[in-house]
Amino acid sequence: MHATSTLDTVPPPVTETPAKRTLLIVDDEEGPRQSLRVVFKDQYNLLIANDGTRAIELAKQNRIDVAITDIRMVGMSGVELLEHLKAVDPGIEVIMLTAYETVDTLRLALRLGACDYLNKPFDIATMRKAVSNAMERRSLGEEIRNNGQALQELQKELHNQRMEEEITRTRGEIYASIIHDINGPLTVISGFIQLMNQRIGNSGRIEGDDLDFVKDRLRTITRQVTNCIEISRRYLSFLRQDADEHPPVGVNHILADLRELVRVHPSIKENEFVIEPLAEDAVVRINGTDLIQILLNLAVNGFQCSPEKHSVKITGCRLPQPLELDGIVDGREERLINREGFKNIAPLLSLTVTDTGPGIPAEILPRIFDPYFTTKSANQGTGLGLNVVQRLTREAKAALHVRTRPGQGTTFTLYLPGN
Ligand SMILES: Nc1ncnc2c1ncn2[C@@H]1O[C@H](COP(=O)(O)OP(=O)(O)OP(=O)(O)O)[C@@H](O)[C@H]1O
Ligand SMILES: [Mg+2]
């Protein structure tokens, strides 16, 4: 196909050593082509073209490290060729040979990525130096590109690995949380079934007070079973990553539900429990079961914080202003959860759970939200209650503030965005 072309190529030797690099020589004059060939034939694989079109073909078929091209050639100019070569492989280093070009042409060539230019006629030492510098630049550029690529691949791999770890960890935490959240209702259910068994024993008929007793306990059991189903639904939708837009829920309705759940909870014992509904009901954007779970976990902690008789109180309040976050500094007696993700837009709704227990020691305050952190005995606490609270708070774009004073008790305040 190229038999008619006045082309001079020295094909690379078949047993090419990997270290031998390829030099492309492009000139439409025989003289310079031949002298460059003589100078470099032992050192590099040479490809020689007498015009731009052939040079581009060669560049497409071979991996070229450095090209020397005359600027002034019949047909395609050296500057045009430079652009084409860079388009084929941006890493090719190109040395321009000039005779009487204007400064503007040289500037253009350099701007297009030429690495050097030499005047014709060139002296051999300068030419050798220029080519060897260009070869070095090519190697360096390649190394940088390879390293960059390797780095990118490494980063991608690390990212994937982290994602996978995160997913496994989150799933593990979710499964543990399901067990934590369902354990409360199950304890109530099993306790009530035991009570009914004791009361009615083997009696053939149930009537009068016994019947009322059974009906009342069955109502509670039904509520707790519904709660279990809601909990599993909530976690399933979390695992499925369903859209998390929640319809607004009425807070007083939630507080009434919560009262029913806490009333029968085994941890309440002799302790006092007060819920003060909002004077004027308000709506918040959070999954209703999530809000109940947050308040329930906080209330249960309130009851469990001391064996001495004490009280737990839940109150709500509408805040017309956003929270002054700068005034809250994590320290020995207070902490704020989800400062960054908090949608601090008024009106906010605050819900506080206060106990009159012993307070939380400053040394453990930074750890109470960690999964599996507990100061309770193995059969009393899993250390997941507050971790669940923290996760649900983040999901609701809410914030949770804890203030504690040794000997005086602890107050958890949940700040929920209203609309
Ligand atoms: N109101 C509180 N007063 C004193 N300490 C508390 C209070 N709430 C939490 N803590 C401390 O924080 C720890 C972690 O609480 P968290 O609810 O996460 O786990 P837990 O109550 O120990 O176990 P679980 O809730 O899984 O049954 C508790 O063990 C306790 O030391
Ligand atoms: Mg707890």
pLDDT at residue 261, rounded to an integer? 85
pLDDT at residue 327, rounded to an integer? 92
For the cut 80, the answer to whether the pLDDT of residue 371 exceeds it is yes
- Average pLDDT of the chain, as a whole number: 89
| Cβ of 386 below 6 Å from ligand 1 | yes
Determine the atom of ligand 1 nearest the C-alpha atom of 302: 1
Tens digits of residue pLDDT in 91-135: 999 999 988 777 888 888 889 999 999 988 889 999 999 999 999
Ligand 1 centroid distance, CA of 182 (Å): 17
- Whether residue 237 is contained in a domain is answered as no
Confidence bin at 3 (pLDDT 50/70/90): very low
Q: Hunting for tokens 């209203």 — which residue is that?
A: 418
Determine the atom of ligand 1 nearest the C-alpha atom of 380: 27
- Whether residue 208 is contained in a domain is answered as no
Handedness of CA 140, 145, 146, 150 (dihedral sign): positive
| Cβ of 71 below 6 Å from ligand 1 | no
Which ligand gives the minimal distance to the CA of 381?
A: 1
- Whether residue 256 is contained in a domain is answered as yes
For residue 383, give the DSSP letter. S
Share of the chain above pLDDT 90, in %: 58
Mean pLDDT for 207-225 is 90
| Cβ of 250 below 6 Å from ligand 1 | no
Q: Measured between alpha carbons, how far is 351 from 249 in angstroms, rounded to an integer?
A: 14
pLDDT at residue 298, rounded to an integer? 97
| Cβ of 375 below 6 Å from ligand 1 | yes
pLDDT at residue 18, rounded to an integer? 56
- Whether residue 182 is contained in a domain is answered as no
pLDDT at residue 375, rounded to an integer? 96
Mean pLDDT for 400-406 is 97
Domain boundary among 114, 148, 182: 148
Together in a domain, 282 and 137:
no
Mean pLDDT for 288-312 is 94
Whose alpha carbon is nearest atom 8 of ligand 1? Answer: 301
Closest CA to 316 of 361, 280, 287, 360: 280
Ligand 2 centroid distance, CA of 247 (Å): 28
Mean pLDDT for 364-379 is 91
Domain boundary among 148, 177, 197: 148
Share of the chain above pLDDT 70, in %: 94
Which ligand gives the minimal distance to the CA of 353?
A: 1
pLDDT at residue 337, rounded to an integer? 97
312 in Cβ contact with 272 (< 8 Å): yes
Identify whether 12 is preceded by a cis peptide bond (ω within 30 of 0): no
Together in a domain, 411 and 284:
yes
pLDDT at residue 405, rounded to an integer? 96
pTM of the model: 0.63
Q: Measured between alpha carbons, how far is 80 from 108 in angstroms, rounded to an integer?
A: 10
For the cut 60, the answer to whether the pLDDT of residue 6 exceeds it is no
Tens digits of residue pLDDT in 301-348: 999 999 999 999 999 999 999 999 999 999 999 999 999 999 999 999
Closest CA to 66 of 98, 21, 97: 21
Which ligand gives the minimal distance to the CA of 366?
A: 1
Q: Which domain holds residue 263?
A: 243-417
Domain boundary among 93, 127, 148: 148
| Cβ of 408 below 6 Å from ligand 1 | no
| CATH at 106 | 3.40.50.2300
| CATH at 394 | 3.30.565.10
Whose alpha carbon is nearest atom 9 of ligand 1? Answer: 301
Mutate to test the pocket of ligand 1, among 306, 365, 374 (most ligand atoms within 8 A of CB): 374
pLDDT at residue 4, rounded to an integer? 41
**For strand 272-276 and strand 334-337, is the pairing parallel, antiparallel, or unpaired?**
unpaired
- Whether residue 159 is contained in a domain is answered as no
Determine the atom of ligand 1 nearest the C-alpha atom of 412: 1
| Cβ of 305 below 6 Å from ligand 1 | yes
Confidence bin at 241 (pLDDT 50/70/90): low
Together in a domain, 144 and 257:
no
Mean pLDDT for 59-72 is 96
Q: Where in 236-382 does DSSP place strands (E)? A: 249-250, 272-276, 283-284, 311-319, 334-337, 348-355
Q: Hunting for tokens 């935490």 — which residue is that?
A: 173
- Whether residue 7 is contained in a domain is answered as no
Confidence bin at 411 (pLDDT 50/70/90): very high
Give, as residue ranges, everything with CB less than 5 Å from ion ligand 2: 301, 385
- Whether residue 187 is contained in a domain is answered as no
Confidence bin at 13 (pLDDT 50/70/90): low
Ligand 2 centroid distance, CA of 206 (Å): 38
Confidence bin at 10 (pLDDT 50/70/90): low
| Cβ of 368 below 6 Å from ligand 1 | yes
| Cβ of 357 below 6 Å from ligand 1 | yes
| Cβ of 373 below 6 Å from ligand 1 | yes
For the cut 70, the answer to whether the pLDDT of residue 235 exceeds it is yes
How many domains, in total, are found in the chain? 2
Whose alpha carbon is nearest atom 25 of ligand 1? Answer: 385
